[in-house]
Amino acid sequence: MRIFKIWLCLILFGAPILTFAQTRTVTGKVMNSTDGTPLVEATVSVVGTAISTKSGPDGNFSLSVPQSARQLKVSYVGFADETVSISSGVMQISLTNAAENLSEVVVTGYGTARKKDLTGATASLKEKDFNKGVYTSPDQLIQGKAAGVLVINNTGQPGGATTVRIRGSSSIRSGNQPLFVVDGVPLSGGSARPGGNGASYGSDGGNPLNFINPNDIANIEILKDASATAIYGSRGANGVVIITTKRGKSGIPQLDVSGSTSVSSVLKKLEVLNGDEYRAALKDYGQTGGDFGGNADAFDAITRTAITQNYNVAIGGGTDNGKYRVSAGYLDQKGIIESSELKKITANLTSSFKFLESKKLGLDLNILVTQTNEGVAPISSFVGFTGNLISQALQWNPTHPLRKPDGSVWIDPALGATTINPLAQLEYFKDRINTNSIIASVAPSYKITDELEYKLLYSVNRQVGVRRGSVDRILNAEGSLGRGTAFISNNEQTNSQVTNTLNYNKQITSRFNLNALAGHEWLIYDTRGNFTGGQDFPNIGLNYYDFLGYATQSSLRTGSYASPTTELQSFFGRAIMNFDDKYLVTGTFRADGSTRFGKNNKYGYFPSIGLGWNVSNEDFLKGNTSIDNLKLRASWGRTGNQEFPSGASLNRYGLGQQSIAQSNFGNEDLKWETSTTTNAGVDFSIFTGRISGSVDYFYKKTTDVLFEQNIVQPAPGGRIWINLPGFVLNKGVEVMLSGRLMRTKDINWGITGNVSFLQNTVDGLAGFYETGELRGQGFSNVRGQRLVNDQPLNVWYLRRFEGLDKATGQSVYADGGNTLYYSGSPNPKTLLGLSSDFSYKNLMATINMNGNFGHYLFNNTAASVLGIGNLGTRNIAKNLINQPIKEAISNAPAPSTRNLEKGNYVKMANATLSYRVGNIGKNIRNMNISLTGQNLFVITKYSGFDPEVNTDAGFGGIPSLGVEYIPYPSARTILLGVNFSL
Amino acid sequence: MKPIKILIFLFITFVAISCTKLDESFRSELEQSSSGNITPDQLLISAYNSLNGPFQTGDLWHVSEHTTDEAIAPTRGPDWDDNGQWRALHAHTWNADQGQITGAYNGLLSSQFSASNVLQFNPSPQQAAEARFIRALSMYAVLDGWNQVPYRSDLTNYKVLPTTLKGKEAADFIIAELNAIIPTLPDTGPAYVANKNGARALLMKIYLNKGVYSNRAAPTFDAADMNQVITLADQIINSNKYSLNDIFYDNFAPNNDSKSKENIYTLFNNASNNRGGNVRGAVFQVSHYNMNPSGWNGFATLSDFYDKFEANDQRRGMYYDYPGALPNPGKRQNVGFLIGQQYDLTVDTALKDRKGNALAFTRTVKLRETGDNLEITGIRVIKYPFDYGTSGDQKNNDWAIFRYADVLLMKAEAQFRTGNTASPLLILNQIRLKRGATPLLAVTESTMLDERGREMYWEGWRRQDLIRFKKYLTPWQEKPTDDPKYLLFPIPSNQLSVNTNLSQNPGY
């Protein structure tokens, strides 16, 4: 807080200092780079200050700038911004039409390409486009920002996991998360963060991307269709997200500092009865017991207003032959649930050097080091009927105090052995995770000729995680009361990569440009883990997990695991051809070999072709003033998914205690699943860039679908990995539209929106498969979702609720509840993202909204935690009383469509108001202060905590979607941030 | 151009060096090809363990008991609805998707595989015989419930579908197997190791039920089969290894491995080395939340069944002192059928339910409870005295599969079915005397069945017994008359969809 106060002082006293600075005058002319015509009303501003002007009718400008000013930024609608160093004399500044920005280069798989040459469906997001707020991982930055990309924060836990789907779920059983690539290093999708050992420990697996500091990210490319992703072969089918971290710029070292403090509170509290209402309800239902006379709000007791602090410093600089950027970040995020927190320290070095007199030898060296320390609240979705912290708080009898008069928490047998005081659960429970990650990469390169470059990339991604947990012997948790339990888990993960690439880039004739790539890659994944746990510890002021050796012999458990060798070897190539700036062809090919694949299918081959036609460069459109850019794209290609466990192709024998058993039948034909994607799209920009956008249609058919099918018994294990003879089909339309609505000297207003319509079906399954495990009391062995032919993936399959019987107050179901019905899909049919930025002089406002529509969520929290039957022992949902039909207290809250709700929502994900203070004195430059609100409101009819939810309710390895079960609640956050440079 | 050549050479070299054969190797598991490291004794332990899942209060137990007049899992308001699966079992309205039926079928067949697998790894003759006993037991249970027994003879190629043995064919196969292994099985040793008398008891079960396997709706009993039952029983009796225990519950107590004189074949449970199944679940499933152990307040029995017992019959319940018991200063009943007020067995205070009412189990119980006392309805059954002495999930009570009393009752029944009534009466009264019940004056088919119920309740035999005595389709409490198709379980739809050698049982 002290640093924060210093900043505040700087803000308050900075402005007067500014006025005493000396000034000088800069003059120049702004023109169109293609024909040299003057650009009128172009904005010329001094970088790092609020000083700006507009160019006159002849393109000329004159501006008084401080002595300390170094650079000018010139911008004009429809043209790419240009930043130039201030020079004496009349400066000539040429802007390039954005539509035909020849120089703009975007990151693609294994290299870069000119944006105008692209034929694939991609989305490119820069730092300014990212969501603003408290984010711990990069996937949260792009939520709602790109068409066809679904990002769900599964829970509200700090650092919690997300669900990311690019163009829907194309796989049934194997992974659906896209491939993330950080500065050329493809990530395995896993992390070394150990899971909880025992049911009551927090079950959110954490986000495996947490080790990346969002503040270090310069841009994110999302590759969606096969033309873009086929270069990633057997890992490209779910789309690819390429993250590029910030680089140093040549020049004297610049120190960037940013800091923020934010305050979070619960986004939504579920309505349960308070003490008085509870008493009234007891009376109404003729219950004699259950009133302890008090008034307690247990949910309030476990939640808090949480403070998060985030500081980042970065130093960048260098020369043309050696650039570097070093950054450090510190995040201290307190969760809105007491005891939960995430502390993260990151350090990142990126550097790039050129050697030899010819400067042909290059070297990139990157190191990213992260440590996270988490305090995890006892919120697990895998708990039995005694529930987790959230359900214990929701169910707490509101007439019973949480604490005794002496301040200690009440563990009261009168409330029953199975009723756990949520405060006791917090107090007598420990769960801490420490994860250390390092990604180091070294990439020497050599320019063999001006056109041909060889590059070697070697990287190591090493992570270690340790988790320690204990439940005190005082807590009346099942199996722990009077005993105490504790465990320690360790995981480690080492992934290495060797990538060789040859890149050839040449303007072969004036009308033909070729950008070609050939490469080889070798990846090795290695994970290990071990755990020890035990019971029966004394309370002697020490943490149980620090003296595990005390445990009774019979309670000791231990185990260890090392993954099978997992290697991937690949050969790939790509050619991007541009004929006359009109006709574009991209061809890619990858051959992937994997240790996972069965011996009969060691290599998979993934080709793609993309065609583009820059219609606006045709003669018949030359000179058309309203159309800046019109490009048609079409692509076809094959990509794969190989996210099934190692060892599935071989017969394995597992080692149990003093015993061995065959654990599976290996399928030696097992191979990747193949997604064949056809994509057609159009990019356009009209009225000098005032309106631009793109429309894409895709048709993605996944065959050889990886699936763990029921095996014909007698057999080892219950299932066998196969490539299904059927298919999963995803098709849809994505629209992205961007409009610059106002553009005057002081006011600038733009809106960008994207919408996607998705459809998904599955075919070729033998029989049906259940998932969507619904939980809670009376919900044992209940699965609410199915995989079955001709239905959407994870279709709901439930009893149909038809209301309450007037006479008996019992639930009425279609066909007496003996028939279950297909009851809708948990997959959103429509995804929406909407952003707007508005600036007035130095004041800027941005909002980012997102929404999902057309899907159903199962509110398992309402179904099994707050039912009417709790009355007399535990609390109930407020909406159950004072209804036209009085529900019988004995009515079983059976799984049915009663708790299946429409999931439609629109969320104000974040809104930021920022003020550009500019330079303060000679030293502080580019100061910016901002106020951001995150999760400000949600428009929805969904009655649970947050319609953006995905509690893990997978069964038998088949993932679920759209279940809410006593999750870590979402937070609403207000954030105050400052950043500046030195 | 020379540097180019050098670099291309380097590039190729890099590629060549990093080329890999992509062979997968395991580090925490063994591959089939490394079979030299896999020994039959380790596989045999896994095969024994594989029986725990289905048999010990597992799915096979559920489908064998909840479908009868002995057990019920009422829907208690917010609890035990579980999508109606318990109601479907008791009311006989299940279908081919029923979870417990699928679980039992797959679990038993998985045991068959585990047992067969031992034979692939050069077992000793005794190990082979033990494995074949385990296989016979699991196949017999599938035959009994489903009539179709997939048998996998090729354990290496999963693409070869198992052959389906049906009815008598399966029975003959199992009989041949058992006869083949009896000479090799051990005569003595712990009850949890497959032994001669265990195999004989299993043979008795098959001969006794053989008439059922050819016609479940109207079984007839071949005298030759009955004589086989009698002969086998006499072999067991004459081995002089078994006698009836003075205290019934010694057969189920935590130390039953030493105390029981009746247990012929058991499933091994041991708290200290973690082998075993969920025997504690037998108590958790009935125990109220506020009892010790704090249970799940689920299963009960029906009053008509309870009323079959005399008050002094040990089997109806008693105060039982055993190693690992709570102090029980009031000497309250702690085993058998729990009815009425329950007590804290440490300090002898009356327990209350979660709403503060007396925790007194009622006679009446309904499949779907709607009253205000739904936490306490139904008489609870504790056959396996809870092992309070060990703290973990694993308990020491071995799970009884074949008991001497069962052998005696089977012999009596076989004699009865061949027209002999004098000897059965002696046998029944021999048992009743030990259990503290008054002697019967005569035996009839229904006293035969009732005595089996009183002796063997909650041990997983009731469904088979009711079918053999043609009572399975008759109505009883909370169950109407039903369709003959329920005499067989359906082939689970998840197996039917992948195994074309199976056909659905009639009516499903």
Mutate: best of B101, B143, B158, B374, partner A, most A CBs <10 A = B158
User: Model ipTM?
Assistant: 0.86
| Residue A7 pLDDT greater than 50, yes or no | no
Cβ separation A418–B275 shorter than 8 A: no
Virtual torsion, Cα B289, B294, B297, B300, nearest 10 deg = -130
- State how far the alpha carbon of A582 is from the alpha carbons of A202, A535, A686, in Å: 56, 72, 18
Residue A200 has pLDDT above 80, yes or no: no
Confidence tier at A746 by pLDDT (50, 70, 90): confident
Confidence of residue A376 (pLDDT cuts 50, 70, 90): very high
A875 three-class SS: coil
Comparing alpha-carbon positions, the chain B residue that sits nearest to A286 is B372
pLDDT at B9 over 70: no
The shortest C-alpha distance from A574 to chain B (Å) reads 17
| Residue-level pLDDT at A760 | 87
- In Å, how far is B2's CA from the nearest CA of chain A? 10
pTM above 0.95, yes or no: no
Provide the b/e sequence for A633-656 (b: ≥16 CB within 10 Å): bbbbbbbbbbbbebbbbbbbbbbe
Residue A237 reports pLDDT greater than 50: yes
Residue A500 is nearest to which of B15, B80, B374, comparing CB atoms? B15
Collect all residues of chain B within an 8 Å Cβ-Cβ radius of residue A642.
none
- B25 CB near a chain A CB, below 8 Å? yes
pLDDT > 60? residue A24: yes
pLDDT value for A191: 87
Identify the pLDDT of residue B463: 97
- Are A869 and B20 in contact (CB < 8 Å)? no
Q: How far is A136 from chain B (nearest CA, A)?
A: 34
- Split at pLDDT 50, 70, 90, the class of B1 is very low
Tell me the torsion sign for CA atoms A654, A659, A662, A664. Answer: negative
pLDDT (mean) for A690-701: 93
Residue in A417, A655, A778 closest to B81 by CB:
A778
Range with lowest mean pLDDT among A622-631, A912-921, B29-38: B29-38
Nearest beta carbon to residue B19 from set A553, A569, A720: A569
Residue A767 CB contacts under 8 Å (≥ 6 apart), including other chains: A710, A788, B493, B494, B496, B497, B498
B493 to A768: CB separation less than 8 angstroms, yes or no: yes
Per-residue model confidence (pLDDT) at position A8: 41
A552, A572, A712, A955, best to mutate vs chain B, most B CBs in 10 Å = A712
* Residue A593 contacts B, CB cutoff 8 Å: yes
Cα B1 to Cα A358, B8, B413, distances in angstroms: 15, 11, 99
Cβ-contact A923, A45 below 8 angstroms:
no
> Is A289 close to B112, i.e. CB distance below 8 A?
no
A-facing residues of B in 393-412 (CB < 8 A) are 393-394
Question: For residue range A838-852, what is the model confidence (pLDDT) as tens digits?
Answer: 999 899 999 999 999
Answer yes or no: are the C-beta atoms of A604 and A672 closer than 8 Å: yes
CB B174 within 8 A of CB B108: no
Tell whether A236 is within 8 A of chain B (Cβ).
no
Question: Count of H helices and E strands in chain B?
Answer: 18, 12
pLDDT tens-digit profile of A657-670? Answer: 888 899 999 898 98
**Is any Cβ of chain A less than 8 angstroms from the Cβ of B373?**
no
Across the A:B interface, residue pairs with CB atoms under 8 Å apart total 270
Contact flag B114-A661 (C-beta cutoff 8 Å):
yes
| Chain B CB contacts of A569 below 8 Å | 18-20, 22
Q: What is the mean pLDDT of residues B319-331?
A: 94
Residue B147 has pLDDT above 80, yes or no: yes
The residue that leads in pLDDT, B18 or A981, is: A981
* Cβ neighbours of A725 in B, within 8 Å: none
Please report which helix (H) or strand (E) contains residue A609, including its range: strand A603-614
pLDDT band at A894 (very low <50, low <70, confident <90, very high): confident
Mean pLDDT (whole number) for A915-919: 90
Report pLDDT for B394.
84
Give residue A619's identity as a one-letter amino acid code. D
Backbone angles phi, psi at B385, to 5 degrees: -55, 135
A715 closest CB neighbour out of B105, B158, B355: B158
B19 lies within 8 A of chain A by CB: yes
Rounded to an integer, the average pLDDT of A782-802 is 93
pLDDT of residue A418: 75
Q: What is the pLDDT of residue B194?
A: 97
Note whether A61 and A27 are within 8 A (CB).
Answer: yes
For residue A38, pLDDT over 80 is answered with no
Tell me: pLDDT of A103 over 70.
no
pLDDT of residue A1: 43
For residue A978, the model assigns a pLDDT of 94
- The 10s digit of each residue's pLDDT in B427-478 is 999 999 999 999 999 999 999 999 999 999 999 999 999 999 999 999 999 9
pLDDT at A220: 93
Q: Which residue from B29, B43, B499 is facing A663, i.e. has the nearest CB?
A: B29
Closest Cα in chain A, distance from residue B112 (Å)? 6
Most confident of A476-480, A623-627, B498-502: B498-502
Q: Respond yes or no on whether the N-terminal peptide bond of residue B293 is cis (omega within 30° of 0).
A: yes
**Can you tell me the distance from the alpha carbon of B165 to that of A737, in angstroms, rounded to the nearest whole number?**
65
- Decide if A890 and B372 are in contact by the 8 Å CB cutoff: yes
| Cβ-defined contact of A653 to B357 (cutoff 8 Å) | no
CB-closest option in A448, A652, A654 to B3: A448
Instruction: Report cis status (omega within 30 of 0) of the bond before A714.
Output: yes
Does the pLDDT of residue B17 top 60, yes or no? no
What pLDDT is recorded for position A417? 67
- CA–CA min distance B307, chain A (Å): 28
Distance from CA of A293 to the nearest CA of B (A): 15
Question: Residue A21 — pLDDT band, cuts 50, 70, 90?
Answer: very low
What's the average model confidence in pLDDT over A863-887?
Answer: 91
State residue B12's pLDDT score: 60
CA gap A245, A241 in Å, rounded: 13
Of the listed ranges A89-103, A348-362, A595-609, B57-71, the one predicted with least confidence: A89-103
Please report which confidence band the pLDDT of residue A416 belongs to, taking 50, 70 and 90 as the band edges. Answer: low
| pLDDT tens string A816-835 | 888 899 999 999 999 999 99
Please, what is the average pLDDT of chain A?
88
